[in-house]
Structure 1
Amino acid sequence: MTVLQDWLGFLPQLASGLWVSVVVCLAAIVVGLPLGLALALGSSAGSRALRWPAIAVVEIGRGAPALVVLQVFYFGLPSAGLTLSSTMAACLALALTTAAYTSEIIRGGLQAVPRGELEATEALGMSRPDALRFVVIPQGIRVAIPPLMGFGVLIFQATSLAYTIALPELLGRAYSIGSSTFQYLSVLALAGLMYAAVTIPASLLTDRVERRMSRHLA
């Protein structure tokens, strides 16, 4: 059989694994971004009761490798009486990683809002929550959009780590095919191309958005 014939035979299973990777990535982002915003606001809060717990979560989430977090959620939590499926464990673990890293990205965006904007809200008599909701957060998120998109690409790549907890994502499917056919080079090369087919266009889109945003801000 030629390499092309091998790839055509592998493609249906790998496509199924790619879909799982995309779903897990989207779930991690949908859960992680709001949590990241909450952590960004908490770590910038004036109250120590809010600031220090938020900082602790961010530092632990950033300091622990995503692979370790995956192992804790899948293998560690059952010892505490909480058993999660591989899909749920992957989604929650990557969501925690997403929240920890994006909180710093979002916090940087919030801090980029000119001080004059805050002074204007105070002059208008706006409350602090209203100033955050209507002025600071919309502008800060706009600044943070390009790096957030770039991090989304990294999270998609990080879904490949979930093969270690038996999730049938793209790399897991590739290993399964390789173990039964012993054609590891062929199937892993195809899996790599499928990852690239998603990440390269996403990276180009991120660069384009960043250039457009830079022109707007300039």
Structure 2
Amino acid sequence: MTGLLTSWGEWLPRLLEGLVTSVELTAASLLLGIPLGLVLALLSSSRTRAVRWAAIALVEIGRGTPALVMLQFVYYGLPSAGLSLTAFVSAVAALSLTTAGYTSEILRGGLQAVPAGETEAAGALGMSHRDTLRFVVVPQGVRIALPSLMGFAILIFQATSLTFTISVVELLSQAYSIGAATFRYLDVLVLAGLLYLAVTIPAGLLTNRTERRLSRHL
């Protein structure tokens, strides 16, 4: 046991570097993907048929394509079309598209959950459709969808483990590298799993707490 703890102490700095990369990937993907998802949620309810169907098509592509396939397509497919991206940028682009597809449906559900009386009151006050969306529907819809968005953020963090397949040096990649050098895959993967849990368990508790607090006011 002492030898295992000593080894973990030696491996921990490298794994923490990988964990930081995983968190950066998650943050960048959410910062790009959630606003895009909101745009798609609004466009999928557009009165213009071409715009509505184009948005729905993008949502279905983002939701229907596995994250691993999306990563491979962006990293290996786009260079053949003349667009070369680094592994990290490719990972962010792929995970952002996946995020946009899923959060679009989450946000659309939140927008539709806003009571009709709110929009009717805004119309009675003479607010335009754009202002009603901006000041009434979107703020309340995002608030309703917030717990689900936080839960999805945990899934995206876990999905960053797939980026080792395109040479991103994140947590799982570091674990495999240490395992290849020491032939102690089980020991290092257990430590990597504990680091994942150190992030996902507090995040899950925060999500549950946020959901309980918001449910009292909705």
TM superposition score category, shorter chain reference: over 0.9
How far has the Cα of 1:49 moved from its partner? 2.1
How far has the Cα of 1:133 moved from its partner? 0.3
* 1:37 equivalenced with 2:47 (yes/no): no
How far has the Cα of 1:159 moved from its partner? 0.2
How far has the Cα of 1:125 moved from its partner? 1.3
Partners of 1:44 and 1:152 lie apart in 2 by 24
How far has the Cα of 1:30 moved from its partner? 0.3
Partners of 1:213 and 1:125 lie apart in 2 by 29
Instruction: Look up the SS of the partner of 2:216 in the other structure.
Output: helix
Instruction: Look up the SS of the partner of 1:216 in the other structure.
Output: coil
Show CA shifts across 1:71-127 (max 9, x none).
Answer: 001111111111111100001100110010000000000000111111111111111
Partners of 2:209 and 2:158 lie apart in 1 by 20
* 1:202 equivalenced with 2:203 (yes/no): yes
Partners of 2:143 and 2:99 lie apart in 1 by 18
**Equivalent position of 1:166 in the other structure:** 167
**Equivalent position of 2:118 in the other structure:** 117
**Equivalent position of 1:182 in the other structure:** 183
* 1:90 equivalenced with 2:82 (yes/no): no
Show CA shifts across 1:176-198 (max 9, x none).
Answer: 11111111000000000000000
Equivalent AA in structure 1 for residue 70 of structure 2: V
Matches within 5 A, 1:40-55: 40-55=41-56
Equivalent AA in structure 2 for residue 181 of structure 1: T
How far has the Cα of 1:160 moved from its partner? 0.2
Where structure 2 has 5 or more consecutive residues not aligned to the other structure, the ranges are none
Partners of 1:191 and 1:86 lie apart in 2 by 21
* 1:58 equivalenced with 2:59 (yes/no): yes
TM-score, with structure 1 as normaliser: 0.98
Name which of structure 1's ranges 43-52 and 185-194 shifts more when overlaid on structure 2: 43-52
How far has the Cα of 1:215 moved from its partner? 1.2
Partners of 1:187 and 1:122 lie apart in 2 by 60
**Equivalent position of 1:149 in the other structure:** 150
Count of aligned positions: 217
How far has the Cα of 1:156 moved from its partner? 0.3
Where structure 1 has 5 or more consecutive residues not aligned to the other structure, the ranges are none
Partners of 2:201 and 2:45 lie apart in 1 by 34
When the two chains are superposed, the root-mean-square deviation of aligned CA atoms in Å is 0.7
Percent of residue pairs bearing the same amino acid type:
64
Partners of 2:175 and 2:25 lie apart in 1 by 17
TM-score, with structure 2 as normaliser: 0.98
How far has the Cα of 1:50 moved from its partner? 1.4
Partners of 1:131 and 1:213 lie apart in 2 by 22
